[in-house]
């Protein structure tokens, strides 16, 4: 399994007329059900949707995981091993 940290702004497109800043995952999902528009595809990821994303304390970053080949939309991102991502999650912004 490999992991990638991305900004939450890279996950959801806010150009649909609402801002996700400060919203809980549940509120984002509710809004998404009203106006679906994701910047990423959950195909090829271990997470099935936004409700499964691991987010940092201020919800500005999230961790995506994949097995096998890296999804094409994440090719330019740094991949972490299980050990490396566990070290990242020990940082104050994640706990």
Number of structural domains (the chain) is 1
- Asked whether residue 54 is assigned to any structural domain, the reply reads yes
Q: What mean pLDDT comes out for the span 59-75? A: 87
CA of residue 95 relative to chain centroid, distance:
17
Q: Supply the Cα-derived Rg of the chain in whole angstroms.
A: 13
Residue 18: per-residue pLDDT:
54
43 within a domain of the structure (yes/no)? yes
| 3-state SS class at 71 | coil
DSSP reduced 3-state for 87: helix
Residue span of the structural domain in which 80 resides = 2-89
Q: Is residue 94 one of the residues assigned to a domain? A: no
Q: Residue 83 half-sphere exposure, CB side, CA atoms within 13 Å?
A: 0
pLDDT of residue 44: 77
Sheet of strand 61-66: strand arrangement: 54-55, 61-66, 2-7, 79-80
The pLDDT, as a whole number, for residue 45 is: 80
Domain-located, residue 95 = no
9-57 pLDDT, tens digit per residue, is 777 654 445 566 666 767 766 666 655 555 676 777 887 677 778 889 9
pTM: 0.70
């Amino acid at each position: 399994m490999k992991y990638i940290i991305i900004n939450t702004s890279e996950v959801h497109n806010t150009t649909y007329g609402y801002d996700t800043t400060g919203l809980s995952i549940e509120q984002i999902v509710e809004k998404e059900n009203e106006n679906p528009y994701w910047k990423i595809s959950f195909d090829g990821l271990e997470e099935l949707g936004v409700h499964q994303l691991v987010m940092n304390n201020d919800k500005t970053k999230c961790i995506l995981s994949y097995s096998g080949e890296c999804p094409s939309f994440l090719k330019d991102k740094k991949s972490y091993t299980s050990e490396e991502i566990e070290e990242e999650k020990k940082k104050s912004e994640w706990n």
